[in-house]
Amino acid sequence: MKWREELKEKAKRSLNKRPPYGPDVNLGVFLWDKGGKAYRNLSTLPQPILERAKVTGIDVKEERVGGTYFQLDFDVLRAKLAKDFKRAGVYLMSVEEALTEFEWARNYYWKALPVDTDKYTAITELKGSHGYFIYVPPKVKVSKPLQTCLFIHKDSVAQAIHNIVIVDEGGELNLLTACSALPVKALHIGITEFYVKRNAKLTFTMVHFWSPTLHVRPRAVALVEEGGYFLNYYIHMAPVKSLQTFPTAKLIGEGAQAYLTSILLASKDAYLDVGGGIEFKANNTKGEVISRSVIRDEANVILRGELVGSSTSKGHIDCKGLLLSERARGEAIPILKSSTGLAELTHEAALGKISHEELEYLMSKGFSEDEAISLVVRGFLETGLEKLPPNLRGYADRILDLISKYARG
């Protein structure tokens, strides 16, 4: 395929292109080969993998979901969709399968996010393996969430995947993605392109539960058309060596909306550079970038938010960090850019500690110090849940409860 060869040539020219944020990662120290044992179904997976997947909320028995995509290192173990959704024209498969089967799929391949964005997008095109492809036809409302799990269990590997999600006109989808790993040294790169068509709605909930020796580099862009609605709810709940991500929503149609929420727990010596951006390219568009970070031990967190207004629009950034250690470090960087007087863009940012008065009050009510800290953390993280669909709020609540327990050590 000539078009694919041209993409690869473009990628090769960007292999040394460092991103503007986050520490650099040496791509040469990781394994990119596709060898090793391949598990053919979820039930044969080792118990440690299943247990860790369950912590992130993956429904291993698939009782509450409408479809499952599960990728272990380089291998797709499962890509199954409920019969009702299949009959409605919904697709759930690997991105390579989609490119082979549907000529039109190439219209969504590296279109929202250019292949030469940085070294991580480039290496994904050159050496990446699979990723999920999801398509929801016009006016089809997928009544049950679809779940995807991207898991690493081999030492020293680089898992580079490319995901594409398309919700066509008037369609609706709730997508849960869980990413996790065994305690190995590895690299995860996750490229995701979201296409939210006219009057469509996509709720994307992503949970990361990595290990302290992993480097993680997600890249995501959403194109939201007229009347479209995109909600990105991200939870990071376990130690990681370094994480850098800056998902961006581009509101290209009138009345489009985007809400990006990040809930972060940073511990040990983790380095997290997490942000979110919204570009208001059409009139009557709205959006918010909200971040909450709990920082303990010697972790370092940078919270970024950026709004770019070039039309009649309303946007808000809210970045807050809670430091639980004298050695913890936090930084909040909200950025507002406007090329028109018709854009109403605002921001607020705060970094601080739990007050002694607050702890003393809770302890006077009979709570231990650890319990009091958990209660404060839980309340601090309570943001963005009201925007989640009712059938996902319980899922997010359980994850936030776990984070509040992990936060106290």
Q: What is the pLDDT along the chain (409 residues), one digit of tens a residue?
A: 789 999 999 999 999 999 999 999 999 999 987 655 556 667 778 899 999 998 888 988 888 999 999 999 999 999 999 999 999 999 999 999 999 999 999 999 999 999 999 999 999 999 999 999 999 999 999 999 999 999 999 999 999 999 999 999 999 999 999 999 999 999 999 999 999 999 999 999 999 999 999 999 999 999 999 999 999 999 999 889 999 999 999 999 999 999 999 999 999 999 999 999 999 999 999 999 999 999 999 999 999 999 999 889 999 999 999 999 999 999 999 999 999 888 999 999 999 999 889 889 888 989 888 889 888 988 888 887 788 887 777 778 888 888 887 776 6
| Beta pairing class for 75-81 and 132-136 | unpaired
Three-state DSSP class for residue 253: coil
pLDDT given at position 71: 95
Residue 96: enclosing H or E segment and its boundaries? helix 95-101
pLDDT given at position 117: 98
pLDDT given at position 1: 72
How far from chain centre, in Å, is Cα 196?
A: 16
Q: For residues 95 and 132, what is the distance between their CA atoms, to the nearest angstrom?
A: 5
Burial class (CB in 10 A: 0-12, 13-18, 19+), 305: buried
Tokens matching residue 98: 């989609």
pTM of the model: 0.95
Q: For residues 44 and 285, what is the distance between their CA atoms, to the nearest angstrom?
A: 47
Supply the angle between the helices 369-381 and 390-406 in degrees, to the nearest 10.
140
Instruction: For the chain, report the end-to-end CA distance as a whole number of angstroms.
Output: 52
What letter does residue 100 receive in the DSSP assignment?
A: H
- Enumerate residues 6+ apart whose C-beta is below 8 A from 200: 136, 167, 168, 169, 170, 171, 172, 225, 228, 229
Tokens matching residue 134: 């999801």
- Closest by CA to 255, choosing from 230, 278, 281, 227, is 227
Q: For residues 135 and 160, what is the distance between their CA atoms, to the nearest angstrom?
A: 21
pLDDT given at position 39: 62
